[in-house]
Structures are given as C-alpha cells and as structure tokens.
Amino acid sequence: MVVVSTAPLEYRTELACPPARAFDTYTDLGSWWDPMYTADAQTFTGVRVERRLGGSIVEEHADGAEYVWGTITLWQPGMLLSHSFLLAHETGVASQVLVRFAPAAGGTELHLQHGGWNEDNLADRSRFTDWPVLLEGLRRRVGAID
C-alpha cells in the first residue's frame, strides 16, 4: 500500500519588488498563469479574481466557458492570501492555497503552501508539483513590470 502524505506542498521564491506589488501581481493571475495549466490553453483568456474576502477566482475562455478555481478565504493585501482551489481536482473536493508575502533583501519572499489535503482529495495531490514552473511565470511578470 502506498501512503501519500497529507502535508502541504511548499514552495518559496524571491520576487524583485515590494510585498504590496508582489501581492497585486500574484492576484492578477491571468497575467502570469501558464495557459498549459488550464482547461484549454487554446481558448484561455485569463483569470478573473474578485479581490476581496469571499471573492471568486474564475478561469475564463474565449468561447465563454468559465471554470471556478475557488473562493478567497483570507485577504490581507501585501501580506497574506488564501483561497480554496479546485483546478485539476478530479475528485471535485477543493484543496487550499496559502500565500505569504514577506519583505526580503531583494524585495519579497513569497512562500506558497498548497494544503488542505484529506481522504477526499488526496488522490489529486500529485498533480501539483509544477508550482515552481508557474511561480517562474510570476517572477517573469514582476520583472516585466519594472
């Protein structure tokens, strides 16, 4: 029997900007999210984020299709963001993403934890090892804004 950990997946990266800008850029998900990690890369047009506690995160496509990624459960601009996450969850049971933005010598240290794993969604956990690829898109976007 293979035992899969329920521990959060954790990733850290440095961003060359202050935490407030890192937070704003992160929440502009559609500007840096790789379309290959969506329902249809060919029709992907962006991600709508209702920037508030309880706000929705919705993937949008040119053909009008929309896919709810989750709901914002913690909203502290420039510091903390947490949201439920349904993207690529075949089980239909959301996980939870928590992102911390901390001042660092080069700008901001971003610490992402992807957790909320339980017996109902644990089968989906192995799909989320590409966060470093996605976060590189965020790093490039922050660099492009400078």
pLDDT tens, residue by residue, 64-115: 999 999 999 999 999 999 999 999 999 999 999 999 999 999 899 999 999 9
Q: What are the φ and ψ backbone dihedral angles of 132, each rounded to 5 degrees?
A: -60, -35
- The alpha carbons of the chain give a radius of gyration, in whole angstroms, of 15
Q: What type of residue sits at position 19?
A: P
Does the predicted model carry a pTM greater than 0.85? Answer: yes
Bridge partners of 11, per DSSP, are 112
pLDDT tens, residue by residue, 131-142: 999 999 999 999
pLDDT for 146 beyond 80: no
Assigned CATH for 10-145: 3.30.530.20
- Range 25-46 average pLDDT: 96
pLDDT tens, residue by residue, 102-119: 999 989 999 999 999 999
> CB 116: neighbour CB atoms within 10 A?
19
Closest residue by Cα to residue 98 from 126, 67, 123, 131: 131
CA 29 from chain centre, in angstroms, equals 7
CA distance 10 to 115: 9
